[in-house]
Chain A
C-alpha cells in the first residue's frame, strides 16, 4: 500500500476518473476529468489503465509528502513541478522516494494539472466511478476537494498487471486565444442566419464564474425570441443559449436535463481542450459538420 499526506491542497483538487456512466436517468452527472486527454496520458505514463482515478488540480496544484515510494506522472496545464524544490518535467514517469515532497505550481497556461500514481487509489467506488461530484458530496475522497492533512492511499499494482508504459506524448500548448470546433445542436435551426453569423463573428471571454459544471462567457449578446422548450437531456460539450443571449458551455459536472435551446456542441475530439480554458481566455466558435 502506498501513501501520501496532503500538506497544502491547492485551490481545488479532486479525484476524477473517466466518468460515471449509466446514472443519468437518476439525475447523476457524468463527472470525470475535465481534460480527459491529460488524465489518460498521466495514467499511461505510469502504467495504469487510461481511465484510472487521478488527482485533478485546478490552478494551484498544492503540496504533497510521500510516505512511501511511488511512481507518478504530472500532465495537463503548464505548471512548475517541484520535487524537494527541484524542478522536474511533466509528461514523464517520476520515481518518488519516501519523504519526497511534490509541489505543483500555479499554471502559466492552461488550468488543470493531473497527477497519476501507479496503482489504484483507495477510495470507495460510488455508482461505478471514483469521480468526485462535489455538489452531491459523493465520490472521490469523501465527496469533497482535498484538505491539508488528508491521507491518500493506493494499492500497488502487481508486476503482472502492469500495462506497458507509454513515453511519447505531444504536450499541448494552451494559448489564451482558442477556436473551438462546434457542430449543430438539436435547436440550431431555431436561430436565423443573422443570429448564427453573430455567434461566429463574436469573441467570447471566459468568465471567472466558470467551473466544472459550465464555462460561462461574456461577449456580444445574441438577441433571440426563441420558443419555450420542454426540458430535455444535455451533456458535457453542449452549448446552450439562454434568454440572456450569451452562450453557456456545459462541462463534466453539468446537470443531466436543461431547458435552454441546445444550439451547438463542441466536437467530441476537442472537449478535453475546453477543460483547460481559464478566465480571461478569448474563445471563438467555428462550425464543422
Chain B
C-alpha cells in the first residue's frame, strides 16, 4: 500500500487509500491530532473542493471521498495542498444540552465501577465542556472528548438491543450521545429530550465536529 505524505497548513500528513475513491489523511504528529483534523475539516468544508462528496473526521484521521467522474487522487491532492489557512483560531460554538440524569439505566453499574455516588458523578459529568470529536458510526451519534478519567466505565458485557434516542452514555473513557434508537453497549446515565438530529432538517444536525457540548442537569 503506497503511503505518501502531504503538507497542509505547515503540518505533515500521511496519505493512504481507503478505496479507489477515498483517501485517508493522518497528522504525522499525534499530540494535537484532533485539533489539526478539525481545522482542516472546517477549511475544506468551507472551500467546496471540486469533486469532493464526503468528509469524515475521526480521532486520528480525516477521510475524503470524491466523485470519480469529477476528479481524481492527483487533482485532489493538488487542491488540498493549495488550501489557505488563516492564523486565526477556528471558531467553535458551545451547545448546552438538558439531561435528565434520573432516567439513566445503568446507575448501579456506573456507581460500582467508578466508586463514586450518583450526585458526584453527575456533578463531574456536567462540569466539563466536551469537544465533539466525531459524529458517526450511526446518524447523529456524537463522540465527545474530555471525559474525566475517574468516570471511565467499561462497556456492557453484551450490548443492549435498544438504546433509547437521546441517551447520554459512557463507553470506556469516552462519553457520547445516541441521536437515534439503536443497539449499543455504552452505559446510559441520562436521557436528553433535546433533539439534535432531524433527518428532515438541513443540515440534519446543528452540532459539528470541533464544537463543544455542555450538559445541564434537569428534572
A binds B: yes
Which A residues are closer than 8 A to B by beta carbons? 21-29, 124, 126-127, 133, 135-139, 143, 183-186, 188-189, 230-235, 237-238, 255-258, 262, 265, 267-268
Known: A24-B65, A231-B59, A265-B18. A256 touches B137 (CB 8 A): yes
B16 CB-CB contact with A under 8 Å: yes
Q: Can you offer 10 A-B residue contacts whose CB atoms are under 8 A?
A: A21-B65, A22-B53, A26-B197, A26-B203, A138-B200, A231-B58, A232-B61, A234-B18, A255-B138, A256-B137
Q: Does B1 contact A (CB under 8 A)?
A: yes
Category for how many chain B residues contact A = 35 or more
Say yes or no: A26 contacts B134, CB within 8 Å.
Answer: no
Q: A274 → chain B, closest Cβ, in Å?
A: 13
The 4 closest A-B pairs by CB, nearest first: A233-B63, A255-B137, A27-B136, A138-B199
B182 touches A258 (CB 8 A): no
Residues of B within 8 A of A231 (CB): 58-59, 134, 137, 143
Which of B19-27, B82-90, B117-125 is found at the contact surface with chain A? B19-27
Nearest CB of A to B192, in Å: 17
Whether B180 pairs with A186 at a CB distance below 8 angstroms is no
Inter-chain contacts of B60 with A (CB < 8 A): 230, 232
B140 within 8 A of A: yes
B203 smallest CB distance to A (angstroms): 7
Q: Is residue B43 within 8 Å, beta carbon to beta carbon, of the partner chain?
A: no
Shortest distance between the CB of B215 and any CB in chain A (Å): 20
Candidate in A23, A185, A257 with the most chain B CB atoms within 10 angstroms = A257
Contact pick for B22, options A137, A189, A235, CB 8 Å? A235
Nearest-Cβ distance from residue B137 to partner chain A, whole angstroms: 4
CB A196 to nearest CB in B, in angstroms, measures: 13
* In the assembled complex, B54 has its CB within 8 A of some CB on chain A: yes
Q: Is the CB of B141 within 8 A of A27?
A: yes
A232-B63 in contact (CB<8A) = yes
CB distance from A241 to the nearest CB of B (A): 15
Report which residue of B20, B56, B182, B203 has the largest number of chain A beta carbons within 10 angstroms of its beta carbon.
B56
Distance (whole angstroms) from the CB of A187 to the closest CB of chain B: 9
List chain B positions with a Cβ less than 8 A from chain A: 1, 16-22, 24, 41, 45, 53-61, 63, 65, 67, 134-141, 143, 179-180, 182, 197, 199-200, 202-205, 208-209
Q: Would you give the shortest CB distance from B62 to chain A, in whole angstroms?
A: 8
Q: How far is the CB of A146 from chain B (nearest CB, A)?
A: 19
Q: Is the CB of A268 within 8 A of B18?
A: no
Instruction: Give the residues in chain A near B1, CB-CB below 8 Å.
Output: 184-186, 188-189
B140 proximity list for chain A (CB < 8 A): 26-27
On chain A, the residues within 8 Å of B19 by CB distance are 183, 185, 235, 237-238, 265, 268
- Please tell me if the beta carbons of A256 and B56 are within 8 angstroms of each other in the complex: yes
Chain A positions within 8 Å of B137 at CB level: 27, 231, 255-258
Asked if residues A233 and B204 are in contact (CB atoms below 8 Å), the reply is: no
Closest-CB distance, B181 to chain A (whole angstroms): 9
Q: Which residues of A sit under 8 angstroms from B204, Cβ to Cβ? A: 23, 26, 28, 127
State which of B17, B136, B199 has its C-beta within 8 Å of the C-beta of A136. B199
Q: Contacts A29-B139, A188-B1 given; 9 further ones with Cβ under 8 A?
A: A24-B56, A25-B208, A136-B199, A139-B199, A231-B58, A232-B59, A232-B61, A233-B24, A256-B56
Partner of B54 from the list A24, A184, A267 (CB cut-off 8 Å) is: A24
Question: How far apart are B193's CB and chain A's nearest CB, in angstroms?
Answer: 18
Name which residue of chain A comes closest to B24, CB basis.
Answer: A186
